[in-house]
Structure 1
C-alpha cells in the first residue's frame, strides 16, 4: 500500500526547497498497513528523528547516481527499507555522497518509487553537507613523493562530497541560518591534543580538526526552531596514528559548539553562540564502534543523556529540554508496525543500522 505523496523532488547542494512541508504526525507506517499491526499515535508536538550509517558512496564523482538508477542497489535498498519502516520526520544519513543527482535518485528510485513494496515516504527538504573530507591538503600525506590525489586529500577522499552527510526533512530547512564547522584547524582548538599527536610542519599547521564536519541545521517545526546538529567524525577504518587523539578533539569541538566556546568560529566567520536553552538533537557519526562508550560518555553526560541510543558509532542525543518518548533501532526495538519486506534477506534491514528517537517539547 502506497501513501499519497506531498511535495516536489528537487534538490541542490546545501539548499532547502521553498515548498510546504508534508503534515507529519510522527506515527510509524508499516510496509503492509492492512496487516493488523498497531502503532501508538503520538502527540502532534512530537518529532521523530533518525540517523543511519551507510556505505552509499562511489570512488568517483557522480558515479553513485548511476549506481542508484533502476532501484536495484543493495545498500540503497537496505537504507530505504529502514527509513520507510520507521518513517522519521528528519533523517541524518552519514557516509553518503552529498551530490544532488545521487540524492534525487535515491528518493525517486527507493523512497517514492511505485515499483516496490515499501511504503512511500517523501522529504521535500534536504541539506547536502560538504566538509573537509576530499579537499586537497597541498602536502604529500601518503608519502608517495607526489602531491595530489585522494591520498593527499583530507580524509583521503577522492572528491569533496564523497561519503559525507545528507539530511532529509519533512519540515522546512532554514537554509540561510545553517552554520558549519569544517575549516577549523586542529591547532585552534583550545586545550586540544595536537601536540600529543607529534605532527610537524605544514600538516600540523593546516590539518582541520574535523575529519569531515559539524553542521547546525535549523528546521522550522510547528512555528518553532529546532536545531539538527549533524556530525561526522573520524571513521572506524581510519589508519592514522593520531586518529584517537583527533577524535577526542572532534567531540570536544561538538561540545564547545553547544556551549558557545569563545575560541570557536564557524566557517561563516561568526563566533559560536551556543545552543544553551535551545531545542536541538545531536545526530550522526560521533565515534568508532569499538570503544565508543569511552569516547562519547563525557559529551553524553554534559548533555544530560545517560544512555544515548547508538549503533555502529552513530548516536542520537536530544537536548535536555526535550521529553524523550521512545527510541529504538531497526531490527531490535523498531516501531510496532515494522515488518520486513517480502523476500528480503533476514539481515538486510538490520545491517543498515538505523536508530530513531521520538522527542517532544
Structure 2
C-alpha cells in the first residue's frame, strides 16, 4: 500500500494547486475506459516515447480522449513507471496539446501504482521446465509494469484500496486450473505455487472519486485474456475469477483483504462504477461461459449498453468470425482478428448510478483514422451523480 500511496502522491503533487470546480446539486459526470495499447516491448520505452511530443500513436490516443472528454478515465495497457513520470509526460506533451482541431484537456488528478505484470514469481507457472520467463511472472509480462493502468481525473481521488497481492487461493470456490494429462484434479499448479499465486494479472483498484460532495468508487481492473494457454485453460479460469472479484466485492463478500491489510468488500449502498477491459464478451470469444455475466448481473449494476454504428459497419465489412457471432455487433468495443475471435464487447463501464447516455467511440468518416490508435475503442457513460 505504501508503494501505491507514494505513486499517487507523486502523480498528484504536480497539479495539486489546480482547483476543481465545486458542483451544487446533481451533476452529469462522464466516466470512460480505454485500453490505449500504450505498452512497449522493453522497460523505459514508453517514457522515452512520451517525453517528446512526436509519438504518432500517443497523439492519436490523446485526440481520442480530447474528442470524448471524459471527466474520469481509466487507461489500460499504459506501462507503469514508478513515480508517475510517464503519466505526467502524457498529460504535458499530449493531452495538454490540441490535436487536429480537438481542444486540449486537463486532468489535475492522476493515480497509478505497481501491477503484477512482469513481476518475477520464482516459480515455473507455465510448466515449460524453466523459470524467469514472462509466463512465470505473477502476471504475464516482459518487465515489471508492462500493460499497467492509470486513472486520470478532473475530481479528487481519495484513499485507494489496491489488491495487487491478493492470493487466488483466498477466493472461495476459485477455478483452480486442472492439467488434463494427469489424474489429479486442479493440479496445473503445485500446492506450493497455488498458495502463492496472485489473482490479479495486473491489479484491482478501488478508487474513491469525490464528485460534487459525493464519493463514487471507481473499481478498475484489466483481467488476463482467456487465451494463450492450453487445454488446462489456466488463463480462462483466471480471467473468470478476476471478473468475479468485483461481482463479489460489490455484493459485500467479506473474504477480501487489500494490500494494506484491511478486510472486507464495498460497504452497502456505496455508489460504484466497474470499469476496464475485462477480456470477456457476454456471447462470443474464448472466455469461460458467462464470465462477463458475473458483472452484468452483479447486485446494483446497471448495464447502459453503449454501442456504435461504426462497430456494426466494421463487423459487416470485415466478415470472418464476425458473421457467426451470437452477440450484436453494435455493442462491440474491440477490433480483433477477423479469423478468430472477431470483434467483441470486452470493455465495460458499469455503474450503480443512473446512466444518462453512453457510447462506444468507433467513428466513421474522417475521424475513422483514429480507429487505429488501439485495437480497443474508448467506452464512455454519462452519469447523474
Alignment partner of 1:183: what SS?
Answer: coil
Does the alignment pair 1:50 with 2:32? yes
Q: Report if aligned partners of 1:132, 1:210 keep a CA contact under 8 Å in 2.
A: yes
TM-score for the superposition, normalised by structure 2: 0.75
Question: Which position in structure 1 is the counterpart of 2:347?
Answer: 314
Q: Report if aligned partners of 1:171, 1:220 keep a CA contact under 8 Å in 2.
A: yes
**Matched residues in 2 for 1:346 and 1:266: separation?**
38
Q: Report if aligned partners of 1:60, 1:158 keep a CA contact under 8 Å in 2.
A: yes
Q: Report if aligned partners of 1:331, 1:349 keep a CA contact under 8 Å in 2.
A: no
Alignment partner of 1:347: what SS?
Answer: helix
Question: Which position in structure 2 is the counterpart of 1:305?
Answer: 302
Q: Which of 57, 72, 94 pairs up with 1:110?
A: 94
**Matched residues in 1 for 2:22 and 2:105: separation?**
11
- How far the C-alpha of 1:23 sits from its partner, in A, is 3.5
Q: Report if aligned partners of 2:246, 2:274 keep a CA contact under 8 Å in 1.
A: no
- How far the C-alpha of 1:44 sits from its partner, in A, is 5.9
Question: Which position in structure 2 is the counterpart of 1:38?
Answer: none
Question: Which position in structure 1 is the counterpart of 2:379?
Answer: 355
Following superposition, which runs of at least 4 residues in structure 1 exceed 4 angstroms of deviation? Answer: 142-146, 349-352
Question: Which position in structure 2 is the counterpart of 1:330?
Answer: 361
Bigger relative contact order (CA 8 A; separation at least 6):
1
Alignment partner of 2:46: what SS?
Answer: helix
Q: Which of 12, 16, 19 pairs up with 2:17?
A: 19
Alignment partner of 1:64: what SS?
Answer: helix
**Matched residues in 1 for 2:61 and 2:370: separation?**
14
Question: Which position in structure 2 is the counterpart of 1:4?
Answer: none
Change (3 A) 1:91 1:142: same
- Per-residue CA deviations over 1:83-136 (Å, capped at 9, x if unaligned) read 100111000000111222221221122111267643100111100132222211
- Per-residue CA deviations over 1:292-322 (Å, capped at 9, x if unaligned) read 6832113211234345446232110001xx2
- Any residues of structure 2 matched to 1:234-273 within 5 Å, and which? 234-235=224-225, 238-239=228-229, 241-273=233-265
Note the aligned Cα RMSD (angstroms). 2.8
- Per-residue CA deviations over 1:243-267 (Å, capped at 9, x if unaligned) read 1112111122111222231221111
Question: Which position in structure 2 is the counterpart of 1:6?
Answer: none
- How far the C-alpha of 1:12 sits from its partner, in A, is 6.8
Question: Which position in structure 2 is the counterpart of 1:130?
Answer: 114
Aligned length: 323
Question: Which position in structure 2 is the counterpart of 1:278?
Answer: 270
- How far the C-alpha of 1:204 sits from its partner, in A, is 2.0
Q: Report if aligned partners of 2:36, 2:374 keep a CA contact under 8 Å in 1.
A: no
- Structure 2 gaps, min length 5: 179-185, 307-330, 335-345
Change (3 A) 1:351 1:148: closer
TM-score for the superposition, normalised by structure 1: 0.80
